[in-house]
Structure 1
Amino acid sequence: MLGISELRLTNLLLAVDDDGIATVTLNRAAKRNALDAETIEELIGVFTALPSSGARAVVLRAEGPHFCAGLDLVEHGRAERTPAEFMRLCLRWHEAFNKIEYAGLPVIAALKGAVVGGGLELASSAHIRVMDETTYFGLPEGQRGLFTGGGATIRVPALIGKARMVDMMLTGRLYSGDEAVAVGLAQYRVRDSEAKALDLARQSARNTPLSNFAVCSAISHMQNMSGLDAAYAEAMVAGIVNTQDAAKDRLDAFARGTAHKIAPD
């Protein structure tokens, strides 16, 4: 496995600040940050390396006015792939997005402009999504003679429900503004999605790494289990996390009454 200093990136930018906040940037603005095969491989490399790099949280952002327009249709049209070749490509997309969702680092997506098709698949693999006033969401595959292949059928219904996803694919319906937040496509709508995403990343990074690992990995795994199995897994994770040495000072502060109070601002 390559470390972050060994990665050779063309379509992504990667920076990690002194607080352990990593910023991963989609860097194909001229293509509306469409995802070609090379970008998918770079995402796999970056999100494989980050968990062991000392990073505490990740901001996922994009250059230009759009977050991501999805599958690079020009590359796809020219490649003339066989069904088996495209299936293997789809599995690489799943690998990339599973690395984001399950690796145990908080990933906050700063959204703007188009978040459509594979761009929505990418965004839905993040743990928190922050949209700005320009953001719109869509799944236009149905109008283009295509079908989703990077996890939309798994993650998008978990956010908005099956019926809304089917509607988006059949009719080309777009979501934006307050409606997008109301249905669950984003958790925050702000003027500056990147500033808000960075603030949320810094908040998340103040948690203990083991707690964040559980929140950003175990919950997703438990959603794939039966209720009985999930209950057992939850108890096991709680047994490990809730007895960690790194939490002792925080528990002592609570006992002394000096801990941060959980109350509305």
Structure 2
Amino acid sequence: MPLVEYQPIGDIAVLTLNRPEKRNAMNDAMLGDLGVAVDRAAAEAKAAVLRARGKHFSAGLDLAEHVEKSLMQGIFGSRGWHAVFDRIRYGAIPYFVALNGAVVGGGLELAAVGHVRVAEPGTYFALPEGQRGIFVGGGGSVNATRLMGAPRMMDMMLTGRVLTAEEAERYGIVNYLAAPGGAFDKALELARVAAGNAPLSNYLIINALQRIHDSGHDEGLFFESVAASLTQSTPEARQRLRAFLEKKAARLPIPNGEEARG
């Protein structure tokens, strides 16, 4: 049985962490299975949902496997996490992450490389590396810090602070709060919406936006102009724009019920 299960649902790839007896703690074998599933999703899906089997999304790094690793083994292991996680964050399709229970350490690092995160009540978030005498190694210093900012990241790592789902939403870690047991359904709903977008638009949204954010002002604006022109020049974009102008496209569902023209 793979430690990351793969299930296609229409155009959506559902990736499920499958080590519930260990609270889905990430070991080398699970990381390898995750890489295989990510590559398959990139080849055949238009969007993906990442979830976990059991009561917890992921309790993080499997410390029993890593405690005896040498310095170089630790470095190569960390870089292995980066390689797989970057194929999610900078991949071909958007990832929607359904969170429940523990999202701790490496589990939070994994959640942070998704593009949209949905959490159920009772989900909790922590970075206890400081108390363990270690440092984040799965890209959290870059990816989780981008979500919440360096001061909040330092607070969590220095003090072992545990965030509720509601606090994580205020911190920018979580995008949506779901009903109890509803994180997967909400994530799947959002993934289906994204799968209906133009593939090139999705690719640039998840790849260009992050790089623009990390670049200088002038470089960012230049990159934006190129990305905008690339998308607008495609036959699919022209068809979608004509449908909108001819009032054949769905309008935005805004809360007060008025018709939106966006």
Q: 1:37 matched to which residue of 2?
A: 28
Q: What SS does the aligned partner of 2:156 have?
A: helix
Tell me how far apart the structure 2 counterparts of residues 177 and 62 of structure 1 sit (CA, whole Å). Answer: 17
Aligned residue-pair number: 253
1:50 matches 2:41: yes
Cα distance between partner residues in 2 of 1:44 and 1:197: 21
Out of 125, 128, 137, which is 1:149 matched to?
137
Deviation at 1:56, TM superposition (A): 0.7
Residue 226 of structure 1 and its aligned partner are, at CA, apart by 2.2
Counterpart residue type for residue 207 of structure 1: N
Aligned equivalents of 2:124, 2:132: Cα separation in 1: 18
Question: What is the match of residue 207 of structure 1?
Answer: 197
2:148 corresponds to 1:160? yes
Correspondence for 2:258: none
2:127 corresponds to: 139
1:23 to 14, 26, 38: 14
Q: Who is 2:259 aligned against?
A: none
TM-superposed deviation, 1:221? 2.3
When the two chains are superposed, the root-mean-square deviation of aligned CA atoms in Å is 1.3
Q: TM-score, normalised by structure 1?
A: 0.92
2-structure distance, mates of 1:195, 1:60: 12
The one-character-per-residue Cα deviations of 1:224-252 (angstroms, maximum 9, x if unpaired) are 32222222221111111111111222211
- Picking from 207, 221, 225, the partner of 1:217 is 207
Residue 3 of structure 1 corresponds to none
State, as a whole percentage, how many aligned pairs show the same letter.
40
User: Tell me, what secondary structure is at the counterpart of 1:129?
Assistant: strand
* Aligned 1:102-141 pairs, distance under 5 A: 102-141=90-129
- Structure 1: how far apart are the matches of 2:142 and 2:193? 28
CA deviation string 1:161-208 (max 9, x = no partner): 111110101111011132211111100111110110010011111111
Contact 1:104 1:215 in 2 (8 A): no
2:4 aligned with 1:12, yes or no? Answer: yes
Matching residue's letter, 1:98 = D
Deviations 1:10-43 (A, max 9, x none): 21100112x2110000000001000001111222
**Unpaired segments ≥5 residues, structure 1:** 1-8
Rounded Cα–Cα distance in structure 1 between residues aligned with 2:165 and 2:113: 20
- Residue 238 of structure 2 corresponds to residue 257 of structure 1: no
Contact 1:101 1:220 in 2 (8 A): no
Question: CA deviation digits over 1:83-114, x for unaligned, max 9?
Answer: 11100000010111111100131100000000
Structure-2-length-normalised TM-score: 0.93
Q: What letter matches 2:3 in structure 1? A: N
Task: Name structure 2 gaps, 5 residues minimum.
Answer: 256-262
SS of the residue 1:150 aligns to? coil
Letter in 1 for 2:83: E
